Amino acid sequence: MVTAQTMMETDRLVALIIMAAMIGFSIDRLLMLLNRKLAPWRFAS
Amino acid sequence: MSKLEIKGVSKQFGAGDTVHRVLDDVGMRIAEGEFVTLLGPSGCGKTTLLTIVAGFQHADEGVVLLSGNVTDGPGPDRGFVFQSYALFPWMNVRDNVLFPMRQVAMSAEDQERRLAELLALAHLSGKEHLYPHQLSGGMKQRTALVRALACSPEVLLMDEPLGALDYQMRMLLQGELEAIFMRERVTVLMVTHDVEEAVFLSDRVLVMGLGGGRIVRDLKIDLPRPRQRKSERYHHYKDVLTDALRDAMGGAGLEALERLEMGAAQAELPPLSVEEIEVGMMGQ
Amino acid sequence: MEASRGAVRRSAGVTPPQARGKQANGGFLGWVSRQQWILSVGVILIVWQLAAAHYDAEIILPYPAATLKALAAALVDPETLINLGITLGRVLTGFAYALIIGVPLGMAMGASKKVRRVVSPIVDSVRQVPIMAWVPLTIVWFGLGDGPTLFLITMVGVFPILLSTIAGVDNISPDFFHAARSMGASKGSIIKNVVIPAAGPDILTGARLAMSAGWMSVI
């Protein structure tokens, strides 16, 4: 990513940012699903 | 010798000007196998007394004797049914009911046998894999009850056990509770503000008054079991108790009663055990 | 299919009863339906395209088309993937450290008012230090290399975990403790069977925050 920044390859840069965001999002969601699976009594209503 | 004896128990909350003497030299004797109800208006100290007997709180003065021995802190000799049931939501019915048995290291076969017995008693057979959030109010109540009975405690303490249920459910469950108690002979001390419940379930009702929890009436309920709600004598007992309850409020108006309720709410139960729970790693 | 029927009714403004419960917290996409996601992404792409066309300068804002091409390329590029893997590894390690420090400390602080009173001021002061301020110090301590990065990841992760653990333990209803003790449970049994399962979900929420923070701190 640093390379992309120095080389001003903005399209690659934005692409990597998106990629990073997607991964971050997935990790977050996975942990949330884990939470719901392990503690169903908290999320039931 | 009485099964449970309470002698000279006093308890106050607050300090300085705002001292509220909830229990003032309260005493009583409960015989083995008796079902005794503490009846009284909110703020009369009945729940405080119950928690002192359970060991969740200490009395400022006085002592609680179980089969002649002084009690100190909670233990499996006194089972407790909470108004909120306190069923562990992360455990299913089976694990909840087995939990006390595991704590006292009951053998595996005894555990299974007792579990089956208790489930049948509470009409919960086949439902033991369900979790508390999947149970109805009545089912939760029965689970909490058999969990408290699991290790055959010397005394069963119940804090407004049917408080969270609607009228229909209460009537139904009173019947179920009666059936359970007719099978499992155990000494019971129950707290309630509901006269109907007191008459239906108890052998003896102690009416506690505001201003120190003084016992204003000690009424023996002489009715055969199973109780008939429609009999004349049943109604008579209800009337007597309703009057006694009114007297227990000491002619206090609504305002005074509200003030006392606020006081009771502020006198929060100190969470003894939380202070004591120091994670082992602290020492390491 | 159930889901699409639900999605259609939802876009008409009506939430079907089953979906209401499920989608309220649920699914990988959150409480937004697949339709709404596609719609949002579509809008973003359109706005992006217009903005890029307006500036028409690769340096300021690349076109979505070019970006998506680069994205596709990056997704299969081994070097990128390896780097991402290494970064993920670092984040997970830092996260693990944050857990090891945060959970036991949080449980101790949640359980004992004394501990809380003593440790809280230290924790709160350290928490206020801007993360970047740690960089020079960590370079001195750990030298150049993985050390400072790991420290950073751990640092941003430990506080959400700590705070959530304290809250989790604090919020355990006293009735559970009373019940456990009246059933003869030992301290160890209480920790294993009451404290951890009861505070668990809150700790996990803290872990989620820690993981997010950790990931964002190194990108």
**Residue-wise pLDDT tens digits, C127-177:** 999 988 888 888 888 888 888 889 999 999 999 999 999 999 999 999 999
Average pLDDT of span B232-250: 89
Question: Would you kindly state where each structural domain of chain B is located, as residue ranges?
Answer: 4-77+153-282
Predicted local confidence at residue C23, as pLDDT: 43
Query: At which residue do the structure tokens 């780097």 appear?
Result: C83
Interface contact B133-A41, CB threshold 8 A: yes
Sheet bearing B69-70, strands edge to edge:
B20-30, B4-13, B61-66, B69-70
Nearest CA in chain B to A43: B133
**pLDDT tens by residue, C55-81:** 877 777 778 888 788 888 878 888 888
**pLDDT tens by residue, B108-123:** 999 999 999 999 999 9
Average pLDDT of span B43-52: 91
The answer to whether C58 contacts chain A (CB < 8 Å) is yes
> What residue type is C202 in one-letter code?
D
User: Given pLDDT bands bounded at 50, 70 and 90, which one contains residue B255?
Assistant: low
Nearest CA in chain A to B88: A41
Interface contact B279-C189, CB threshold 8 A: no
The beta-carbon neighbor of B75 closest among C184, C189, C190 is: C184
B273 has a pLDDT exceeding 60: no
B263 has a pLDDT exceeding 80: no
> The complex's ipTM?
0.84
Alpha-carbon Rg for chain A, nearest whole angstrom, is 17
Report the predicted TM-score, pTM, of the whole model to 2 decimal places.
0.81
DSSP symbol at B55: T
B50 in Cβ contact with B256 (< 8 Å): no
**CA of A29 to nearest chain B CA: how many angstroms apart?**
22
B273 in Cβ contact with C190 (< 8 Å): yes
Question: Which CATH class name applies to B4-77+153-282?
Answer: alpha beta
Predicted local confidence at residue A10, as pLDDT: 75
Question: Is residue C72 left, alpha or beta, with left meaning phi > 0 and alpha meaning psi from -120 to 50?
Answer: alpha
Query: At which residue do the structure tokens 């004349």 appear?
Result: B232
Domains and CATH numbers, chain C: 2-76 (no CATH), 78-218 (1.10.3720.10)
Interface contact A36-C25, CB threshold 8 A: yes
Beta-carbon count within 10 A of C135 CB: 14
Lowest mean pLDDT among B179-188, B211-220, B249-258, C128-137: B249-258
Where do the DSSP E strands lie in chain B?
A: 4-13, 20-30, 35-39, 61-66, 69-70, 78-81, 155-159, 187-192, 204-208, 215-220
Torsion over CA: B254, B260, B266, B269 (sign): negative
